[in-house]
Amino acid sequence: MNARHLETIELFAGLSRRGREEVARQADEVDIDTGEKLVSEGRFGYEFFVIEKGTAEVLRDGQQLAQLGPGDFFGEMALLGDVRRNASVVAATPMTAVVMTDRAFRALARDMPEVAERIREACRERSRSFKEI
């Protein structure tokens, strides 16, 4: 994947060029069709996604919890907590996403603490907002 694409994604924008290049080596850029289920509620997680283009719906028990778009990410809660997915995510439109395996994601969290802290803060926010739904 091209490290320059990462400059446009808020999660990675503050990284140095070297940091973005490291993320690019660990990640893949994938195109996703409308309707494709990316994450399944109740399953263990093995990937982390950052949306570059398009939108996705977050569903729990079939009820929409949120809509995600460019710059949003998902899949981190299962990887950080080593727990089952607490929601499903389905592509609402054609999408392009940056995808990292669980191993690459854990290396990113370990080696780039500033990115890890942004991800953890997003987890805390999501946990609070999902409890209210």
Residue type, 9: I
pLDDT of residue 61: 93
CATH of the domain at 51: 2.60.120.10
Give the Cβ contact number of residue 119 at 10 Å.
Answer: 20
How many structural domains are present in the chain?
Answer: 1
Per-position pLDDT tens, the chain of length 133: 878 778 888 888 778 888 888 888 889 999 999 999 999 999 988 898 999 999 999 999 999 999 999 989 898 877 777 788 889 999 999 999 999 998 888 888 888 888 878 777 877 776 666 554 4
Residue 71 CA, distance from chain mean position: 9
Q: Which domain holds residue 51?
A: 3-132
Residue-level pLDDT at 126: 67
Q: What predicted TM-score, i.e. pTM, was given to this entire model?
A: 0.84
What residues pair up with 63 in beta bridges, in sequence order?
60
